[in-house]
A and B are shown apart, each in its own frame.
Chain A
Amino acid sequence: MKIINGYPDYMMESIERVEEKRERNMKEPVKPMSLKDREEILSKYHPDYMEGTRRKVRVGVDKGKLMYNGIVDLLEAKPVVDPKDIDLGKIDYDVDILIIGGGGAGTVAALFAYESGVPRDRILIVTKLRHGDANSMMAQGGIQAADRPEDSPVLHYLDIYGGGHFTNKPELARALALDAPGIIRWHEELGVMYDRQDDGEFLELSGGGTCRNRLHSCKDYSGMELMRNIRDRARNLQIPVLEFCPVVELLMDDKGQVAGGVAFNLETYEYYVIRAKATILATGGSGRLHLSNYPTTNHYGATGDGLVMAYHVGANLLDLDTIQIHPTGDAYPEAIVGVLSTEKIRGLGAIPVNKNGDPFVFPLEPRDVESAALIRECKEGRGIVTPTGMPGVWLDTPMIEIIHGEGTIQSQLSGEVRKFKRFGIDITKYPILVYPTLHYQNGGVEINEKTETRVPGLFAAGEVTGGVHGKNRLMGNSLLDYNVFGRRAGIYAAKYAKKAKIGKLTLSHLEKYSRMLEEANIRPTKTAPILLPEYRGEMAISRSLDIF
């Protein structure tokens, strides 16, 4: 097999057809689908609507609720910690506020807890990998906020609610829309370098599902630029962070409050007992569960631990019967399968086309519809299959420079250029191959406007929560989410901690949970949370011994 311009020869032949038809494709765009067509394609090709992807959970507060199989598997697994192994008599860390997860939501919460008067050494961030190894670091596109005169928080609210298929908790959608401009101002004060016009106004882009252009971005490293600034602030304040020590279960007290957690040192296998007056869950999403067998855009630690821990103490979960698959994950080369190619590529004018070079879908349909259209194209044989068997369709990136002029791709999409250049592919000249990838956990632990869960002492913010976006999140709204609700969590947890009195620590909720499993006739063979995905080669695993 010969490789030409980074592609095997047979793929290059298909690209020639794409090139021949490029001019026509730009002139005669595909029209958006009618609502009826949308429904039909979703029901046939989107995992949220297909048979066999979800089932009812048989245990706990949400018994009977439909959720993705991979999540039900975790909820019906045995708690990973055996209370008998833990000595609660010795407290390793005693703090006012425990923050679980050192991503965006957790770090913002720490900063605002500090601003609310909690001394730095009474705050503890405990995280699974390094501080900032998180989905927050990976966001490319940007963050929404309605600050232009032709826009308003009211319109933003309408977009959030409609985008979520009218299933969001209205008070959470309101908080998201109304707090947004204040968050952007806070970022300015931190020193975030937003893309601006010469007059200082933000360069604001549109995206799927928004009625006004309101996406603020920092080139295609928006998430990294936000996280870097927020983390730098936390580091300057010297807020304590415990790295490589995921929390594996929450602690409760004899009054039924959440009162901290048990952390596990991944390197020494020791556990630490952390007592806290208020606990903030900010563990992010669950892409690494590969629900419905999708590849994912998420970071290595996104294994849904927060959902499991919260469920064990009796918090309820919302909307986990839906997942967000992003239409344009990379399908070639094999080394980057599942990695995100930003929606901005379509935003700038690139169109998806099939192996014959023909377009088949309006490029800016809502994500679920766009994904379903790509899946259909491949299932019906009009996709390209890579040498390793991965299907995909072309996203015709060279169109961007025909529309906006030479140099646009380099200046607007430098991360994408860099990614493909490593494999000898020049995206200014040749299209890229894409296929949907698991991107975002729409639902999660239910919170209210104060980020309280239904269990006293437990607050939650960010991707781990449910209700903000309902059954579908719009682009640019989750960076906003972790800022808006991370901030609120810091403020309200600080308030709570001032008054809270912690009683005798206990892990009896785990015993209770195990009994519930038994009563439901579930005999789990696995344990949860899983902490890290298992990617070792099958060969290596099949020969491994558990003796060391």
Chain B
Amino acid sequence: MSKSKQVVIEKKKTGRANKSEDDKEKQGVVEVFIMGKSYRVPAGLTIMKALEYAGYRFIRGCGCRAGFCGACSTVYRIEDEQKLGFDLACQKLVEDKMYLVQLPFVPAAKAVYDINKLEPSDSVLLTYYPEIARCVSCNTCTKSCPQDIEVMKYIQSAIRGDIAKCAEISFDCIQCGLCAMRCPADIKHYHVAQLARRIRGKYLDPKSKNLAKRLKEIEERKFDEEIEKLMKMDKKEIMELYRNRKIEAEESVIAGGD
């Protein structure tokens, strides 16, 4: 992009001086081939940061930068080896003599459905994605998955009509599409899995009774008055109330958060 003169260098070096060229020498330099073209970059960078170091500015092929979005699928090969590797550019480190290309888009078709209207039967996945029946059990999908998911296994579950299992095994899928790009049977694994998980969440998992009760109370406006009172309370009083509230977690050990 030509308008990129505005520079916001990634400032990730809190509390330290900028890394000098010197340091980089010490850490070592590797040679990578970005779509065949040679660049020398510091070792220890992810493929994503190495491309940037070399002067590439991402538009496609970069989303979360943390392994959650599947935007940065990358295919690579190390010189003198035959095997192709599949990984995420934001997660995988560069290696010496690595040939790299990104696959920022996957043209796999997604079925269109209305989750509220479909019948959650054993054959529903086959109805929307009949091609799963063509799986030849080559396991290529599993081998291409950067999340190490047992992709073939969840497709087999889908064929058997075991929706819950398909949903469970595929849960960590970031929908990068590498499996679909490699499958000889043109199966769209991640779309199949998406449908399986939605069916499981909507129809198969048991529902919360507490939630239903709470919704009824809210509808009956049970809490309106009390919240109103808090909203009108003077600052000192509400601060007192806040400070003295009982904290459940101090009694139990399980806790979560962002």
Contacts and interface: CB of A to CB of B under 8 A. Distances in A.
A299 B69 contact: yes
A476 interface: yes
A379 interface: yes
A8 to B, nearest CB: 12
Interface residues of B, number: 101
A153 B223 contact: yes
B237 to A, nearest CB: 11
A228 B175 contact: yes
A418 interface: yes
Contacts of A132: 69
Interface string B237-250: 01101110111110
Contacts of B254: 205-206, 213, 347-348, 404
Interface stretch (A10-18, A108-116, A499-507, A528-536): A528-536
Contacts of B209: 200-201
A188 B201 contact: yes
B208 A200 contact: yes
Given A166-B238, A206-B254, A475-B258, A540 B15 contact: no
Interface in B55-91: 55-60, 62-69, 71, 91
Contacts of B201: 188, 190-194, 229
A294 B54 CA distance: 23
Interface residues of A, number: 134
Interface in B1-39: 1-17, 19, 23, 27
Interface in B161-186: 167, 171-172, 174-175
A137 B194 contact: no
Contacts, number: 343
Contact of A530 (B8, B49, B91): B8
Contacts of B224: 178
A83 interface: no
Interface string A522-548: 000011001011111110110010101
Contacts of B13: 293, 389-390
Given A147-B210, A299-B64, A388-B19, A266 B59 contact: yes
26 contacts: A139-B258, A147-B208, A149-B210, A157-B230, A158-B242, A162-B243, A170-B231, A181-B215, A181-B218, A198-B206, A205-B257, A229-B197, A288-B8, A295-B12, A342-B257, A388-B44, A390-B14, A404-B254, A422-B92, A423-B93, A435-B14, A527-B6, A534-B6, A534-B9, A536-B56, A540-B54
A277 to B, nearest CB: 27
A139 B69 CA distance: 11
Contacts of B69: 130, 132-133, 137-138, 299
A191 B199 contact: yes
A347 B197 CA distance: 27
Contacts of A190: 115, 198, 201-202
A403 interface: yes
Contacts of B91: 335, 419, 422
A213 to B, nearest CB: 6
Contacts of B231: 170-171, 174
A219 B171 contact: yes
A147 B205 CA distance: 18
B140 interface: no
A422 B91 CA distance: 8
Contact of A340 (B66, B238, B253): B66
A177 to B, nearest CB: 7
Contact of A182 (B210, B215, B241): B215
Interface stretch (A231-239, A459-467, A510-518): A231-239
Given A211-B248, A390-B16, A415 B172 contact: yes
A155 interface: yes
